[in-house]
């Protein structure tokens, strides 16, 4: 009876199998070393974080952070309300302006008369017309609603309104 080794019956050379297992063992050893190093690094970071702190002090830190977040939320709400108020005020303020200087009465000396148009965001406002003459200065105001008026406008007033409207 012949005693043949089981390794001799394999179609692969036993040296290749042993060499492959050695390489796999070395790779696993390297991976294990990397894992141990990373675990130690994480442990050191955790230890540094927890050094001198207990659960109560961490709870205080978290509570303080929550309070600060609540204060910031309240301030944010106040800021948003202020912004809404400012936006509303800006919309109703006079934003558009047109002015025309003219000589109301030819030969009366200079362009002392003027027409000024002041409009808000919705093209609502007024036209102020100052007519200067020898007898005095006369001031007229005409209301503008959405860029139009029911009152007949003079050519200078129309020009001032068109300037304000951006025509």
Helix segments in 10-144, DSSP class H: 14-50, 55-92
149: CB partners within 8 A, 6+ apart: 127, 142, 143
pLDDT on residue 105: 76
Q: Are residues 20 and 61 in the same domain?
A: no
Does 78 share its domain with 46?
no
Each residue of 15-64: pLDDT tens digit?
888 899 999 999 999 999 999 999 999 998 888 777 766 666 777 888 88
Instruction: Mark whether 104 and 161 lie in a shared domain.
Output: yes
Q: Which range of residues forms the domain containing residue 79?
A: 54-92
Q: What is the pLDDT of residue 93?
A: 83
pLDDT the model gives residue 4: 66
Regions in the chain scoring below 70 on pLDDT: 1-4, 7-8, 52-56, 107-109
pLDDT at 107: 67
pLDDT at 3: 53
Listed residues 92, 117, 151: the one ending a domain: 92
């Amino acid at each position: 009876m012949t005693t043949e080794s089981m390794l001799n019956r394999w179609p692969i050379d036993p040296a290749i199998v042993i060499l492959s297992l050695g390489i796999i063992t070395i790779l696993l050893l390297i991976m294990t070393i990397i894992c141990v190093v990373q675990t130690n690094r994480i442990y050191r970071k955790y230890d540094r974080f927890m050094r001198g702190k207990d659960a109560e002090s961490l709870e205080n830190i978290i509570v303080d952070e929550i309070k600060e977040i609540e204060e910031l939320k309240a301030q944010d709400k106040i800021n948003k309300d202020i912004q809404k108020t400012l936006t509303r005020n800006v919309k109703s303020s006079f934003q558009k302006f047109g002015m025309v200087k003219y000589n109301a009465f030819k030969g009366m000396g200079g362009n002392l008369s003027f027409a000024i148009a002041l409009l808000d965001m919705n093209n609502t406002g007024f036209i102020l017309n100052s007519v200067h003459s020898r007898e005095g200065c006369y001031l007229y105001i005409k209301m503008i609603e959405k860029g139009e008026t029911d009152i007949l406008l003079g050519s200078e007033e129309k020009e001032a309104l068109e300037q304000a409207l951006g025509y």
